Structure 1
Amino acid sequence: MTRYTERGASWRALAYGPGFAVLGYLAELFTGTTHAIAWVFVGLGLAAITAPWIHARRRFLTVEVTDSSLCQGREQLPLDRIAEVTDVGAPTGARVLGGGWSVPNKYDALPLRLTDDTVVLAWAKDVGALRTALQEARAT
C-alpha cells in the first residue's frame, strides 16, 4: 500500500505551451493579421520540449513511501534498514538518497539513521508528511 507520494511534476504542465499558443493566436485576431500555422508549430514545439522535462522530473524527483520501502528518485531503501526518523542530526557530507550530490532545489532534507549507524538525507517538499508516513509504515 502506498502511504505517501510526491510526484516531481504533473503532466498538466504539458498544456502550458499549447495554451500559450492559443493566447498568442487570440491576441493576433485583434490585430488583424493571424498566423495560425505558426502558432500550431509554437504550441507543438513548446509541448515537445516540455514532455522530456516532465518525464525527467517524474523519474528523478518522485518520492514514495510504501509499506516496505522508501523510493527517492532512482533509489529504493527498504524500511527495515531505517533505525530512526526523528531527532537525527545531519552530519556534514551525509549521503543524499536518490543519487544526487545534494538535496534537490525547493526540497527540504530529512536525516534518517540507518541500522548500520550511518545517516542519510531523505528529501521532500513536505518533510512533515514524509516523516509521518515513514513512522506509520515502520510501526506496522
Structure 2
Amino acid sequence: MPERTDTAAETAAVLFSEPGARWRAVAYGPIICLLLLGAELAAGVTPHWFALLFCAVLITGFGVLQVYAARTHVSVELTGEYLRNGAETTPVRSIAAVLPADSDEPWEDGRALGELTGVPRRRTAIGLRRTDGELVRTWAKDHRALRATLQEAIGARNSGPVDDTARDD
C-alpha cells in the first residue's frame, strides 16, 4: 500500500500559539481567600465565612470574564494555513513578507491585526506586507519566535511543492 501524506493535517498543525491568558489565573482569588481563612483559624478569631465566600465568588467571576476576554481577543495562533490574532484570521498565503524592525516601510502606522484598536499591552508588533500591498502589524509576547515561525511558514509556502503536471513533454 502506498504511503499517504495528508497535507491538510500537516498545514493545520499549530506552529505557534499564545493563549492570551491562562485559566489558572481564575484560581488566585479563591486561594487567597483560603489563605485568609487559614490565618483567621490559626489566630483563633471567628472566621468571616460569608465575607470570604462572597469575595472568593466575586473574584472568581471577574477572573473568568477577564481570562475569557483575553483568550478571545489577545490570543495568537499560527498554522501553515492561517495566522489568527484575537478574532481576526489572516490566510498565510495573503502575507507577502515579514518586515524587519528597521524597515524603511512605515509598517508601524499599519493597522493592527485583531479587532482591537492597537497592539495589546505587553505585546510587541511585527510588520507584515500583504500580497495586496497593505502594511499591517501582527503581535505577540514572544515576538521573536512568532517572527521566526512566520518567516519559515512563508518560506515553506514560497518553496512549496512544484506542480509537475504542467510540463511540456
User: What TM-score bracket applies, with the shorter chain setting the length?
Assistant: over 0.9
* Aligned amino acid, residue 135 of structure 2: V
* Aligned amino acid, residue 29 of structure 2: G
Whichever of the two has the greater Rg, that structure is 2
Q: Greater shift after overlay, 113-122 or 129-138?
A: 129-138
Measure the CA separation in 2 of the matches of 1:91 and 1:50: 35
Gaps of 5+ in 2: 1-12, 158-169
Give me the identity figure in percent.
Answer: 38
SS for the counterpart of 1:100 is coil
Give the structure-2-normalised TM-score: 0.78
Aligned to 1:6: 18
Aligned to 1:127: 143
Deviation sequence 1:80-99 (CA, Å, 0-9, x none)? 11001143444453111002
Aligned to 2:161: none
Q: Contact (CA 8 Å) 1:83, 1:113: kept in 2 or not?
A: yes
Measure the CA separation in 2 of the matches of 1:133 and 1:9: 21
Q: Contact (CA 8 Å) 1:90, 1:121: kept in 2 or not?
A: no
1:23 to 25, 35, 47: 35
Measure the CA separation in 2 of the matches of 1:92 and 1:111: 7
Q: Contact (CA 8 Å) 2:127, 2:136: kept in 1 or not?
A: yes
Deviation at 1:22, TM superposition (A): 0.4
Measure the CA separation in 1 of the matches of 2:24 and 2:15: 23
RMSD: 1.4
Q: Contact (CA 8 Å) 2:107, 2:137: kept in 1 or not?
A: no
Gaps of 5+ in 1: none
Measure the CA separation in 1 of the matches of 2:71 and 2:116: 15
Large movers: runs of 4+ above 4 Å: none
Give the structure-1-normalised TM-score: 0.93
